[in-house]
Amino acid sequence: MTTTLAQPPVFAADDDLSVWPGSTTRLPHEGLAVGGVDLAEIAGRFGTPAYVLDRGEVRERCRAYRAAFPDADILYAAKAFLSRAMVRWIASEGLGLDVCSAGELELAVTAGFPASRIVMHGNAKSPHDLETALRLGVGRIVIDSPSEIAQLAAAVGHRGSQGVMVRVVPGVSAGGHSKIRTGTEDQKFGLSLTDGQAHHAISRVLGQPQLRLTGLHCHIGSQLTDVRPYLVAVRRMVGLMARVRDTQGVVLPELDMGGGHGIAYRPGESTLDIIALSRRLRAELAEACAAARLPVPRLIIEPGRAVVGPAGVALYRVLSVKRTGERTFVAVDGGMSDNPRPALYGVRYAPRLIGRHSTAGTRTATVVGRHCEAGDILAADVGLPGDIRPGDLLAVPVAGAYQLSMASGYNLVGRPPVVAVDDGRARLLVRRETLDDYRARDVGL
C-alpha cells in the first residue's frame, strides 16, 4: 500500500532521477539525455520553452496498464495531452480513447483512430459535439445531465441507436485538490446516486429506443494515490446496477471506473500502484457482483496523466535572477501560459539545472514565469545552485500531462513546441506557436 507524506521534501537529491523518464541518463557537465537525446541539444535546436516527450516511456506505460488489467478496456484520457502522434502511439498499443469535445474527437479520427473505440465525455456537450460524435460513429457517449437524454435521442433520430453510459456521482470524496474531486455532490459532473437522479436518468434512457445503455460510468477524482476510494465507489456502483436489474429487468454489461491515478511529481512523493489497484478493484467487483447475484460487467478504466505525465520534460531558459530580501526569484522564458497548474492547483515541481556544472552550494529559490501575474509561479521554494544565472537551462520532469493541454495565449508569447525523443532521435510533433498564428486569427476591426 502506498503512503502519504505529511510534508514532501523541498529539496531533491541532485542524483535522484526517480521521477524522470526511465530512459534518462547522465551526461558530462551535469547534462541529461532522455530517449538517447541530450536535452541541451534539444533546447539549442528547437529553442525554449520546449516540451520533450519520451515515446518509449509512453508506450511502456500503455503496456504496463494492459498487463495490469488484461481483461479490461483501457481508454487513454485525451484531455491530459493529445496530438496526432500521441493518437497513433495509443492506437498501436491497443488502448481506446476518451475525448471531451468535437475538437479532440476530430483530431483523433483524422489521425486514423477508430471512432468505435472512442468514448465522449463532457458535462455540457454542445450540439456540435453531439452531432460530430454521431456523424463519426463514436462507440459510446456518456450522459452527464438529464437534458442530454432527449437531446441525444432526437439527434439520433432514425439513424438507428447510439451506445450510451450514464455518469453517476457515487458520493466518494477523493483527489489531490478540491478542484479535482469529482465524486461528490458539490461539483458539476454526473448524476447523484443518493438523491435518485442517476436511477431516474437510467429509467429515461431505457425508455428511448434510439439509445442503447451499455453501462454506468463514474470518476471520483484525480491524483489519487490510495486504492480504497475506488473500492468504495465500485461497491456503490454495483449496488446501483443491482437496483437497475431489479426495477428495470436490465443487466448492464459495462462499468467504467474512470481514471485519476496519481503520479509523483517530485522524488519521495506517493504514486498509485496500478497492480495493487487492479488486483483489489477486480476482487471487490467480483465479490460485490456475487453478493448481488450479478454477472461481472466488463471493466473500463481511463488513465491519462499516469500514461503521459512522467514521459514529459519541460525545458526553460533562465532570463533573470532577482534577490528581494531573503527570497531569490529565478525568472524563465515560459510560465503560466504553458503550465497553469501551479496557479490553479498549487502543484509543486522539482526543476533541475542541466548542461552546466556548478560548484556553488544550494540556494532556496522560486522559479517564476514571464507573465504579468503575481501568481505566475512554476516552482516555489526549490533547491537550485547558488550561482544560477541568466542563460542557464532548467529542466522540469513530469511535464507531459495537463500543461500544454491547458496552455493559453496569455501575453501572446505563443505555446511551446512538442519534441518526441526515442532511440537517439528527436522529432518535432507540434511546432511552436508564433505571432503569425495570432495575426492569422485576428481578422481586423
- Does 1 have pLDDT greater than 60? no
Give me the mean pLDDT over the 270-278 stretch. Answer: 96
Distance, CA of 180 to CA of 182 (rounded, Å): 6
Residues 90/76, Cβ–Cβ less than 8 Å: yes
Distance, CA of 38 to CA of 32 (rounded, Å): 6
For residue 131, count other CB atoms closer than 10 A to its CB.
13
Distance, CA of 393 to CA of 385 (rounded, Å): 12
Give me the mean pLDDT over the 316-330 stretch. Answer: 94
pLDDT category at 8 given cuts 50, 70, 90 is very low
- Does 134 have pLDDT greater than 60? yes
Distance, CA of 379 to CA of 266 (rounded, Å): 11
Within the chain, all domains assigned CATH 3.20.20.10 are found at 55-307
Give me the mean pLDDT over the 340-362 stretch. Answer: 93
pLDDT in tens, 358-373: 999 999 999 999 999 9
Peptide bond into 49 cis (omega under 30): yes
Q: What is the pLDDT of residue 10?
A: 41
Residue 177: CB partners within 8 Å, gap ≥ 6? 223, 345, 346
Question: What backbone torsions phi and psi does residue 307 show, to the nearest 5 degrees?
Answer: -85, -50
Which grid cell is 176?
489531490
pLDDT category at 177 given cuts 50, 70, 90 is very low
pLDDT in tens, 425-439: 999 999 999 999 999
- Does 397 have pLDDT greater than 50? yes
Alpha helices in 47-159 (DSSP H): 55-68, 84-92, 102-110, 127-136, 147-156
Distance, CA of 106 to CA of 135 (rounded, Å): 11
pLDDT in tens, 196-223: 899 999 999 999 999 999 999 999 988 9
Give me the mean pLDDT over the 61-77 stretch. Answer: 97
- Does 2 have pLDDT greater than 60? no
Q: What is the pLDDT of residue 174?
A: 56
Question: What backbone torsions phi and psi does residue 444 show, to the nearest 5 degrees?
Answer: 105, -175
Nearest to 143 by CA among 161, 157, 130: 130
Tell me the CATH class for 25-53+310-441: mainly beta
Q: What is the pLDDT of residue 190?
A: 86
Tell me the CATH class for 55-307: alpha beta
Nearest to 203 by CA among 256, 151, 166, 152: 166
- Does 314 have pLDDT greater than 90? yes
Nearest to 59 by CA among 423, 351, 399: 423
Q: How far is CA 206 from CA 138, 217, 281, in A?
A: 19, 16, 28
Q: What is the pLDDT of residue 7?
A: 35
Q: What is the pLDDT of residue 46?
A: 98
At position 128, the amino acid (one-letter code) is H
Nearest to 265 by CA among 336, 328, 318, 341: 341
Share of the chain above pLDDT 70, in %: 93
Give me the mean pLDDT over the 335-357 stretch. Answer: 93
- Does 14 have pLDDT greater than 70? no
- Does 23 have pLDDT greater than 70? yes
Range from 29-38, 122-131, 182-191, 198-207 carrying the lowest mean pLDDT: 182-191
Q: How far is CA 43 from CA 39, 201, 395, 407, in A?
A: 6, 52, 10, 20
Residues 149/141, Cβ–Cβ less than 8 Å: no
Q: Which residue has the higher pLDDT, 195 or 332?
A: 332
Known catalytic residue at 289: no
Residue 442: CB partners within 8 Å, gap ≥ 6? none
- Does 317 have pLDDT greater than 60? yes
pLDDT category at 180 given cuts 50, 70, 90 is very low
Distance, CA of 385 to CA of 407 (rounded, Å): 29
Dihedral-angle region of residue 395 (phi above 0 means left; psi in -120 to 50 means alpha; beta otherwise): beta
Locus of grid cell 463514474: 218
Q: What HEC string does 192-230 produce? A: ECCCCHHHHHHHHHHCCCCEEEEEEECCCECCECCCHHH
Nearest 5°: the CA angle 164, 162, 247 is: 50
Within the chain, all domains assigned CATH 2.40.37.10 are found at 25-53+310-441
